[in-house]
């Protein structure tokens, strides 16, 4: 079978048969692929540690006869990273689940998308970073790349310029609503000025500035509500990791 080498991140894994696993892997050059890892669950398997969830590895893949590639070799990139606690694990799971559901298999990635996923998972594990803030950044950047960037500077309904004051976020309308239009979406999220500024930083793609922000719990809660509304609107599946994360807060 012809084979190729690519860098990949394990987004999901499912046990298969007595000793195998089926992996969903995001690769740098081949997009999202399904991979059969034979014998990986056997004691002493040399592939096991290099195919853990969220692990980045250099993979040698053979093209199988069906829809799955066959893993023949894997070498972890970098040191083993521990997520440390359930909250960080839930945040990493949410990033991986979003990437899995949002990206079609077998399509090459837009430039920088692979790195966006890799950096989000690294930020979830970084003890110096708040994993909830990492999820907000990743999800907003992902939605932007998918073409769902919200309107944050003018009213998404009437087009009037938004003043520096609280506003309501409407996923149905596609962004923030002015005070006149806000009553049209009773399920919208009321955003304080601080949350609006954070959303604008994320929309601008200023990773350095976003990393320096220290977000209060109440602001994070608002941003997560906005995120949940956007995902419900644009991603055609319920993300189970959202429920897990909510139960841990």
List the CATH number of the domain containing 17.
2.40.50.140
Beta strands in 77-180 (DSSP E): 167-170, 175-177
Phi and psi of 159, rounded to 5°? 85, 5
pTM: 0.88
- The tens digit of pLDDT for each residue in 56-107 reads 999 999 987 778 999 999 999 876 666 778 889 999 999 999 999 989 888 8
Question: Last residue of a domain, which of 76, 105, 130?
Answer: 76
Question: Last residue of a domain, which of 76, 103, 122?
Answer: 76
Q: Is residue 50 part of a domain?
A: yes
Give the torsion sign (CA, 185, 189, 192, 193): negative
Do 125 and 215 have their domain in common?
A: yes
List the CATH number of the domain containing 106.
1.20.1440.120
Query: Which residue is listed with tokens 């073409």?
Result: 147
Q: Is residue 81 part of a domain?
A: no
Range of the domain at 23: 3-76
- The tens digit of pLDDT for each residue in 12-63 reads 999 999 999 999 999 999 999 999 999 999 988 988 889 999 999 999 999 8
How many distinct structural domains can be found in the chain? 2
């Amino acid at each position: 079978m012809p084979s190729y080498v690519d860098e990949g991140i394990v987004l999901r894994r499912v046990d298969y048969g007595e000793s195998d696993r089926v992996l969903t892997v995001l690769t740098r050059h081949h997009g999202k692929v399904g991979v059969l890892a034979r014998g990986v669950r056997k004691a002493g398997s040399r592939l096991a540690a290099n195919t853990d969830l969220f692990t980045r590895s250099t993979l040698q893949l053979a093209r199988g006869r069906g829809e799955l590639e066959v893993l023949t070799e894997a070498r972890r990139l970098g040191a083993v990273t521990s997520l440390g606690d359930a909250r960080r694990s839930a945040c990493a799971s949410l990033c991986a689940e979003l990437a899995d559901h949002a990206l079609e298999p077998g399509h090459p990635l837009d430039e920088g998308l692979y790195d966006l996923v890799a950096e989000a998972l690294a930020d979830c594990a970084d003890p110096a970073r708040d994993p909830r803030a990492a999820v907000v950044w990743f999800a907003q950047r992902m939605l932007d790349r998918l073409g769902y960037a919200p309107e944050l500077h003018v009213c998404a309904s009437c087009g009037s310029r938004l003043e520096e004051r609280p506003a309501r976020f409407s996923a149905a309308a596609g962004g923030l609503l002015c005070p006149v239009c806000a009553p049209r979406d009773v399920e919208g999220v009321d955003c304080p000025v601080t949350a609006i500024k954070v959303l604008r930083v994320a929309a601008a793609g200023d990773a350095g500035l976003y990393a320096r922000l220290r977000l209060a719990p109440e602001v994070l809660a608002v941003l997560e509500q906005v995120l949940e509304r956007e995902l419900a609107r644009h991603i055609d599946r319920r993300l189970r990791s959202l429920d897990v994360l909510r139960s841990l807060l």
